[in-house]
Amino acid sequence: MQQDFLPLNGTDYIEFYCGNAKQSSLFYQNCFGYELIAYAGPETGVMDRSSYVLKQDKVRIVLTTALHQDNPISEHVKKHGDGVKVLALWVDDATKSYEETVKRGAQSVEAPKTSSDEHGEVVTASIQTYGETIHTFVERKNYRGAFLPGFEARKSLIDVTPVGLKYVDHCVGNVGWGEMNTWVEFYERTMGFNLLITFDDKDISTDYTALMSKVVSNGNGYVKFPINEPAEGKKKSQIEEYIDFYNGAGVQHIAIATDDILHTVSELRKRGVEFLMVPNTYYDDLLDRVGEIDEDLQPLKDLNILVDRDDEGYLLQIFTKPVQDRPTVFYEIIQRKGAKSFGKGNFKALFEAIEREQALRGNL
Ligand code: FE2
């Protein structure tokens, strides 16, 4: 087998550029049960921005806001609204990761740089991906601080109760018309990813809207990036709605794994997280479709959790509504019970739910 030229240990962090990181950080603490672990800003010598680092098990989210108008972060927020800027990847050698990918055609954003403080040193380097999104390689084997040099350890001011979020399962990108294959090839060629699954518009279309999707994965399967593009339908594709409001390609959803989706979703609902609803009829023939499952049907129905099966097992999943006012980024909560797929059997029910929301916004 060919040697993996870009070994990845997983997702290091996901950074959002947002309008008000201070308030967003409380949303993530109160509603999603993340712990505040670090902060950078004027008080720590970073004069142009404030960043809050939140953590739950292996998931790390960074929320960053610019402090002045003449700033690329402000420009990003003006154009895209709150959105994902950085999908950071945890590596053992950031310099090599950068060199190998740039050599294969990746566009450089930042050459490898070492930063250090009293807790050790970190090497980071960044390359461009779809839209204005970037991948930052993070090498932290010689670092023991709270997050990165420049950040200081912080604690939540409130009692935070985790909801059972464990790790990032996959991150989905929406790209423009006809761009899906370009980005699939980018991940194959420059990052050594493999094409895992293809969904065409026959798999993913309702009466109205359509999209196409391909999933790429790195060698060890720790990092999976489905890429969607809009397809022609009777009405506007949900991907097109995203592109219109995000003003280009960007991260559509982040799927986070849990070991106990009933607990996680009932906690999230109690705390005010909004989810897409499928009609109750979805559950009428669910067990005929997916066969025997460990969970009772009624609590799944009460919480509106979806189920799908593939050759290797089944999965439970649910999708939030967008977590900002623009109809852009949302979350998926997923519990895998053997299944390695993405819930194809739920696409139709799900997309009809998305269309109902699109119609309410006047964008269908
Ligand atoms: Fe997903």
Distance 241 CA to ligand 1 centre (A): 18
Judged by average pLDDT, the poorest of 54-68, 178-192, 197-211, 242-256 is: 197-211
Distance 283 CA to ligand 1 centre (A): 20
Distance 307 CA to ligand 1 centre (A): 13
d(CA 139, CA 67): 28
Decide if 55 contacts 35 (C-beta within 8 A): yes
- The whole-number pLDDT of residue 346 equals 87
Segment 190-215 shows an average pLDDT of 83
Distance 270 CA to ligand 1 centre (A): 23
CATH architecture of the domain with range 165-361: Roll (3.10)
**Tokens 């929301």, residue located:** 357
- The whole-number pLDDT of residue 205 equals 67
Distance 25 CA to ligand 1 centre (A): 23
d(CA 348, CA 192): 32
Q: Which ranges in the chain belong to alpha helices (H)?
A: 21-32, 72-80, 94-103, 180-191, 238-246, 261-270, 286-290, 297-303, 347-360
Instruction: Indicate the helix (H) or strand (E) that contains 165.
Output: strand 165-174
Distance 10 CA to ligand 1 centre (A): 17
- Domain definitions of the chain by residue range: 10-153, 165-361
Decide if 327 contacts 361 (C-beta within 8 A): yes
Distance 36 CA to ligand 1 centre (A): 26
d(CA 12, CA 8): 10
Is a pLDDT exceeding 70 seen at residue 208? no
d(CA 228, CA 225): 10
Q: Give the three-state DSSP class for 144.
A: coil
Distance 13 CA to ligand 1 centre (A): 18
Distance 82 CA to ligand 1 centre (A): 20
d(CA 36, CA 159): 11
Is a pLDDT exceeding 90 seen at residue 355? no
Distance 261 CA to ligand 1 centre (A): 15
230: Cα separation from own chain's centroid: 19
Is a pLDDT exceeding 70 seen at residue 2? no
Segment 267-272 shows an average pLDDT of 98
**Tokens 């590596």, residue located:** 91
d(CA 35, CA 104): 38
Q: Are strands 134-139 and 250-258 parallel, antiparallel or unpaired?
A: unpaired
Distance 52 CA to ligand 1 centre (A): 25
Judged by average pLDDT, the poorest of 109-118, 131-140, 274-283, 315-324 is: 274-283
Residue 42 dihedral angles phi and psi, to the nearest 5°: -50, -35
Distance 332 CA to ligand 1 centre (A): 6
- The whole-number pLDDT of residue 112 equals 98
Percent of the chain with pLDDT over 90: 83
From 111, 115, 114, 126, select the one nearest 149 (Cα to Cα): 115
Tell me the pTM.
Answer: 0.96
Segment 165-187 shows an average pLDDT of 97
- The whole-number pLDDT of residue 182 equals 97
> Which numeric CATH code is attached to 10-153?
3.10.180.10
Distance 325 CA to ligand 1 centre (A): 20
Kindly give, in sequence order, each residue whose CB lies less than 8 Å from that of residue 171, ignoring residues fewer than 6 positions away: 11, 14, 84, 87, 224, 225, 251, 253, 254, 255
How many other CB atoms sit within 10 Å of the CB of residue 112? 18
d(CA 229, CA 234): 16
Percent of the chain with pLDDT over 70: 98
Q: Give the three-state DSSP class for 44.
A: helix
**Domain pair 10-153 / 165-361, same fold:** yes
Q: Are strands 83-90 and 134-139 parallel, antiparallel or unpaired?
A: parallel
Q: What is the mean pLDDT of the chain?
A: 94
